């Protein structure tokens, strides 16, 4: 059986790339469901899914987005290559970034959150690993502001 490497929308606005897979991925691929993913996995996955929702949600209120629409608009990818799709590509963690071979990356650090960088031409977001200890609410707010400036939430 081919190893599963993708979960979510076929046309996501944001793909989060991670180096490991959640339990029950086979079932989740058939029926993408954030609640089921969180229920069948550790608190670690609850944090990842919640941070994905906080960044991707078009509104500040992210809970409903996470619980009802997350995988209609986003995706998780576990391979070490960027998928050739429109939308933004989020690579979380330095160790994870080292798995990728990205030519001509021109990511600029955010002034208010220098641990985060954006390449607006390639639509790549680089952050620490998506965990509350490394991506605080203040950092998520700075990411949302930066993505808002480049039209992420308005579809531009």
Residue 132 pLDDT: 82
Residue 26 to residues 56, 106, 111, 117, Cα–Cα distance (Å): 24, 35, 40, 32
**How far is residue 122's CA from residue 34's CA, in Å, rounded to a whole number?**
27
User: In the prediction, which pLDDT does 133 show?
Assistant: 86
Give the other-Cβ count within 10 Å of 135's Cβ: 23
pLDDT of residue 156: 56
Count the neighbouring beta carbons within 10 Å of the beta carbon of residue 134: 14
Q: Which helix (H) or strand (E) holds 146?
A: helix 137-149
Exposed e or buried b per residue across 20-57, where buried means at least 16 C-beta atoms within 10 angstroms of its C-beta = ebbeebeebeeebbbeebbeebeeebebbbbbbbbbbb
CA 54 vs. chain centroid, Å, equals: 10
Residues of the chain falling short of pLDDT 70: 1-3, 156
- Axis-axis angle for helices 137-149, 43-56 (nearest 10): 30
The structural domains of the chain, with segments of one domain joined by +, span 6-149
For residue 3, the model assigns a pLDDT of 64
Sign of CA dihedral 16, 153, 126, 113: negative
pLDDT value of position 71 = 97
CA 62 to chain CA centroid, Å, is 14
The pLDDT of residue 154: 87
């Amino acid at each position: 059986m081919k190893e599963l490497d993708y979960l979510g929308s076929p046309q996501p606005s944001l793909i989060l790339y991670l180096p490991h897979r959640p339990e029950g991925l086979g079932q989740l691929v058939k029926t993408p469901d954030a609640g089921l993913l969180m229920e069948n996995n550790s608190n670690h996955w609850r944090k990842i899914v919640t941070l994905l929702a906080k960044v991707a949600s078009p509104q500040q209120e992210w809970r409903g987005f996470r619980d009802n629409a997350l995988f209609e608009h986003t995706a998780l990818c576990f391979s070490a290559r960027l998928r050739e799709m429109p939308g933004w590509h989020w690579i979380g963690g330095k160790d994870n970034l080292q798995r990728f071979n990205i030519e001509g990356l021109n990511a600029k650090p955010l002034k208010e959150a220098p641990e985060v960088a954006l390449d607006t031409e390639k639509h790549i977001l680089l952050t620490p690993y998506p965990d509350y200890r490394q991506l605080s609410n203040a950092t998520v707010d700075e990411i949302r502001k930066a993505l808002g400036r480049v039209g992420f939430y308005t579809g531009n």
